[in-house]
Structure formats: structure tokens, C-alpha cells
Amino acid sequence: MKTMNDRRHLSRASSRPAGRARHLGPWLALLAALAPILVLAAPPAASTPPSGGKKKVDASSSGSEAVAQVNGRPILRRDFDLAVQIQFRGRRNAVGLKELQATRDAVLERLIEQELLYQKASRNVVSVPDKEVEAEFATLKKGFPSPRDFAEALRQSGVSEAEFKEQVRRTLVVTRFVEREVLGDLKVTDEDVRRYYDQNPVEMDRPEAVHLAQILVRVAPSASQESRATARQKIEEILKEVRAGGTFADLARRYSEGPEAAKDGDTGWMARGKGPPALVQAAFALQPGQTSDVIESRLGFHILRVLEMRPAGPIPFDEAKDAIRAKLVAGARAEKIHAYVEQLKDKARVERSSKATS
């Protein structure tokens, strides 16, 4: 079974899909929905944003003012500021001035590249039917807990529903153009995958791990002693049912308050040393098929069951090959798109504001 613990060795960066919107605040959720259009034209990781040599245009702090002109078409400050926020979505630590400036410079380049791709797609008469735009819009909207949350996210972002739909349409137009005209028949062969596997043994290595299921009864950190005692009593009763022969998966679906309850309590793989110390210690003391006593953590009370164990060592090729192929395809796509966009830039008239990224 492949897991995210395995795949993290194979891919260091990925975009955040709109499906994760429910785990973010409404504003950041909207940013997550808009993120793919920036990812589409992003260059390979080794690239750096170009600087200098271009004309300047005036800009002010008003959201309706231009931070750049691309063949006479403006990129608005409001859109630029929103795109910068996308890059820092989910960040909890402070951002240094140096990192902020570098990010703002890179974001402006991405917006310029996206506009160039859209203009090229329009000249090639690439269009997307309204029903496809509506379908994609509906999918993004469903990523929010409710229509009210979606409307609030739009309001906080200063984006109307019509403007958001237009952004969705532009994204689909650019995506269709890039897939058809830029990427073409891009392929990664089985030999490419095998070669990458053989040449990157460190990346293919993984630590000892256990495959776990759990039953969790949540307790808030600020809960009273009475509430904590009630939760403790509840999970002790559940443990009695487990010890009496109750099916762990059934009990997890019925009682667990964790996100994995719908999956029979299956939490996936836990690597040694990766996770809350109390849970790691308890998990690695068990054998497959064994169930722990009640364990307390900052989330509440847990009962763990070890489903299987896996020694440290290389990921077998058959388990790694799909993730390797996806990584190689993503890298090849990024390189090809970046090369194409650089050709467009060479022929374009791009004017940047002197205050665009300050």
C-alpha cells in the first residue's frame, strides 16, 4: 500500500486543491480555489524571476490600478495582492522582508506569464463552453462548507461571483490551450521511471512504520475536569467492547470522532519518531492485530490497533513507480511550459510598474 509518508520522498511540492477548502478559513479557501492558475505557468524550481530591462508604468495602492501591462492589457493590483496571499496560504510563521519581496517579484512574473498564455490561447480561438465553466464553478463552490461561506469568501477577497466565474473560464481556456498546443504528446517511459528509481536510492528509502487504526474521543485543551472525566469514561467503555470481541472497524465508525472514522478508523502509516510521542511509543510496542490501552494526547483519548508493520528499507519499485511517474511528468510539464512562456515573453511588450512589488 502506498502512503503519503512514502510519497513525500518523491514529491516536495504540490498545489493545494480546492477540496481542502473546508479545512481553511473562508478567505484562504477561496485562494486555494484560485491557486491552480498560478501553478499552471510556474517555472521549474531552479528558475528565478527575471529582472530589469522592461518599461515601467505608473501604479498606486488602489486595487483597480495596474501593476503591469502585458501587450496593453493591465494586471490589476487587486489581483496581484490576492495572488501573493495564495503563496502564503496556511503559513503560521512570520514572513521576512527578503522572502516577501522575492515572492512578490515571482508572483508578478507568474501573472504576466498567465496573461501571455491567455492572450495566445485567445488568438488561437480556444474557447470553453459555458456549461463546462458552470460545472467547474460548482465543483469549486462545493469545496466550502456552505453557500454562505463561499459568498463570505468572495466578499472578503473583493471578488464578485461573475469575476470569479471569469477567472475560472480563463483558467480552463489556458489549461486547454497548454494541453493541446504546448504539451502535446508529452510522455514518460517505463525506462525513465526505472532509471529514476535506480539513481535515487536515498529518496526511495523509508523508515520503519506501523499501519494504524484508531478510535478517538476528542477533548478540547480548555475542557473542564468534569468533561475530561466524561470523555475518559466513554472511551473506557468503548475499550471494553473491543476487548469483548467487538469489531474494531465497526466501533471506529460508530464512536470515533476523528476524520478517519468513515474509513474504519484507518489512519494510514505512522513512521517511527513521526507523531505525538505517546502515540508513537504505544504503537511500536504492539504487534499486528493487537490493541492498545487508552492513550491520552492533546486531541483527547485514543485506542490504537496495529493493522500491519513494515521494516525500514527501500520502497519496492512496484509501489514507487506511480509516484515517480507523476513526479517526472510534472517536472517535464513545468519545463516545457516554462520554455514556451519564455518564447512568448521575448516577443511581448511587458511594462512593469516601478512600485509593482514594493
Indicate whether 118 and 170 sit together in one domain. yes
Q: How many domains does the chain have?
A: 2
Q: What 3-state class would DSSP assign to 274?
A: coil
Indicate whether 134 and 169 sit together in one domain. yes
Indicate whether 127 and 275 sit together in one domain. no
Indicate whether 330 and 307 sit together in one domain. no
Indicate whether 107 and 222 sit together in one domain. no
Indicate whether 331 and 306 sit together in one domain. no
**Does 60 reside within a domain?**
yes
**Does 200 reside within a domain?**
no
The β-bridge partners of 205 are 314
Measured CA to CA, the distance from residue 327 to residue 333 in angstroms comes to 10
- Residues 254-286 have pLDDT tens digits of 999 988 999 999 999 999 988 899 999 999 999
- Residue-level pLDDT at 91: 64
**Does 251 reside within a domain?**
yes
CB 176 within 8 A of CB 126: yes
pTM above 0.75, yes or no: no
**Does 203 reside within a domain?**
no
End-to-end C-alpha distance for the chain, whole angstroms: 48
Taking residues 152-176, report their average pLDDT. Answer: 85
Indicate whether 343 and 270 sit together in one domain. no
CATH classification of the domain holding 269: 3.10.50.40
Q: Who has greater pLDDT, 149 or 322? A: 322
Q: What 3-state class would DSSP assign to 113?
A: helix
Distances (CA, A) of 28 to 90, 111, 169, 308, 313: 8, 19, 21, 37, 38
Taking residues 76-95, report their average pLDDT. Answer: 75
Q: How confident is the model at residue 44 (pLDDT cuts 50, 70, 90)?
A: very low
Indicate whether 333 and 306 sit together in one domain. no
Indicate whether 45 and 135 sit together in one domain. yes
**Does 158 reside within a domain?**
yes
- Residues 97-142 have pLDDT tens digits of 888 888 888 889 888 988 999 999 989 888 889 999 999 889 888 8
**Does 199 reside within a domain?**
no
Element (H, E) at 267: strand 266-271
**Does 358 reside within a domain?**
no
CATH classification of the domain holding 62: 1.10.4030.10
**Does 9 reside within a domain?**
yes
Q: What angle do CA 227, 230, 231 make, to 5 degrees?
A: 90
Tell me the percentage of the chain whose pLDDT exceeds 70.
80
Find the domain containing 136 and state its range: 4-190+325-353
Tell me the percentage of the chain whose pLDDT exceeds 90.
47
Indicate whether 235 and 185 sit together in one domain. no
Indicate whether 150 and 281 sit together in one domain. no
- Residues 166-224 have pLDDT tens digits of 888 888 888 888 888 888 888 899 999 999 999 999 999 999 999 999 999 999 989 99
Indicate whether 179 and 113 sit together in one domain. yes
Q: How confident is the model at residue 85 (pLDDT cuts 50, 70, 90)?
A: confident
